[in-house]
Structure 1
């Protein structure tokens, strides 16, 4: 092809565009190096310029990068501008990029219409007016930056909504735990003997109590009779050793609303003293209201409650403690292995090193035991319709997935239903979808299949869920580790490493299993097999 005339550059150069958050790129495609140089000079202040000398080079550049606008020469050897534009429009990722055709000839309407038919948004003829070309390109660069800012804002909103969803989920869980704790405490209080009193305090007389409510018979023997005698002084029966503590509790300077709580021993006519818990609230400078509880018979219950609270706290803290402890063990084990490789040890030194390694192995086993304890949970299995499950999950993840993450559902098990815990199954599937999304930062399709395996052999094979993404996949060397608690490939702060571990534990506890594979063509495939029931019968498959 003959060399085309170079661009006519005017003296007046457009002012440089201000820098923005998103740096736009312009792709210039022309087989004439002089034209590329001239066009680059015009548009360099507007955006980063990428050049290509042929249609094939342009298509390769489009596979690597995104562009605000493409300036495409119509007449080029091998592949002309029209053919190149056709390939660009066929590809979903590039079909939206504006194309401006450049041509020194063929200004007829027929050629113009052909260019617009191939997806061009404008048609510029050579020699090009630099200011006009700059202005046209600036429009598309500004639109590109605006679109990028909107996408960034949408991504931020999605992250915020996801965080809000997780926070709401945590709030609901905390509320459930709080409600359960309140019910336990109410049950305990109902089983305890409690008497309510009003009292006045003075330095001369101390605290004078008067029963105003509760069950007097709730207190044992002498204490109950004593409360019926309005003239009796309760303080007289408090053991002498405990009186100073009671007096100081009520005598300390405090204001309205302050509380007093003291445990003391109360003497009986015969037999051992009672252990009483007295709790009161100051209602003014001299007046108190409170309760007296006989806790003598509750010592065993207290110990049991304390143990239950310890186990509850252990269940909440085990995960984090085990994680940190595991890191320490990993450092120690790494040091032991380094010593073993780099030093020549005699028999006695090697024996010491072996003992150290054995101790680390025991620590690792302890960590695994703690984690196994921490994730124990009661399940309430019931029949779950696959289509209902799909709708429920999509209703939860719609806000976390934009148009770059289409979800392709295939449900072919209408005559069967899962037999598992609905809330846990929903949570597991939700975590798998979020993992699939996070594995594809640039977007991609999430495929979800619910069907029956081709050769079911056990009840665990009744129904299966397969979640597949189009991400880079999981390296073979870590494929076996991804279900370990706290193992994650995400950056710090982006994941806990408990999602797949929880899914595996749920599948096993439900009588099923979880399989993870990385196909050779890329992506990750997670398969959960769970027990199922036929819709028209009650027997498990």
Structure 2
């Protein structure tokens, strides 16, 4: 008897759905089967279908003769649903005993067909079999789930172990944090660097391991990443155990996410960047010193160059009539070299002003066309091997610094002439396009290799080295002037000798009215 009670207790969690339109029949079923499981009683097929939508049952006891939806129709609908199609159904009926009626019940998916009045012990034995099968199935499912969980945990432990080995093998510091951003563990590189244990990282950003000047900044950046889920990147200094000195590190962190996209942890790395950072700082200081020297030297050179220019001009005026051809050519050559040197010094000064943000503009409204004509005429006088063609409309009003715009035009046209050693045509165009004032300077020279198109706008950048002269500053200065006018400049070239290059400039128009008039 004790064993029987224990068996019934183990079966008490099964739920049995009883469907009958007569309440006394339901009470009789509950009295007979109540100790085998939890009885759920409904009085119609419709109500049974509703319960089956949201609940699971070990067995369905279904009366055949019911008003409205009978037992056969109810069974058919139960078997059509994915959730309930495998629940066993036992039909109960007191009316039809013929074979065709019984076969119809089995055809609707019934596992048994019990005639009323039924013998309680027979019905109990039938129900007990299906309840026990249901509980065994549930037990197997739980065991399967537990097995899968143990397998997952074993895989996670193995993965964590391999992950740890990988982290320890890396030459940079690696840290692990939980979803809330609390650092839990560091790798071997961290232990060797700091002399601390692997788990001595809980408050890393505010610890003695981090330079005092960097603690709050690193901690604030870390808190922001944890709060927003964004990647973390910050430079900070950490103390080295060997000598107590600090070295620069680049800290980066990415979140680990589960299948639903939720953050489950963080992986942080700290890469030693001390050597390249200090080299970069030294290079920056050297560049600053070089720029300061160039600026100072340029200023100092202007005075003797101006004096030399005045002396040449004075000699030409005083002795020009009595001077022989040789001395006259010498003075002319000297004058040309002084002008060239003055131009180089002026370029160095302009670059220095650009770097320090002191390249000022004296802006006014003016017509660009006369400026372009004058520039072309002046530059044409300096070369007999090139034909300078100007293609412009009647007028082009703009707002800017005429002197600086002329400097840009002179640089572009001079470059076109310089890099067309075989002569040819240099075309200067100006027009209105897309609400902007457009300038284009094209030549038939040596062209620019594709990989050098970006280099030529850098300081001292030259597509062909020093072969064609110049310091490589003209385009840098032109780019700075155009940018200060709110415009842009770029080069286009196939890189094939003889096809030349085209430099494009776009500048904002002075007013919408000018844009409309020029476009009409």
TM-score by length of 2: 0.37
**Bigger radius of gyration among the two:** 2
Q: Which has the larger helix fraction?
A: 2
TM-score by length of 1: 0.36
Select the structure with the greater relative contact order (CA < 8 A; seq sep ≥ 6).
1
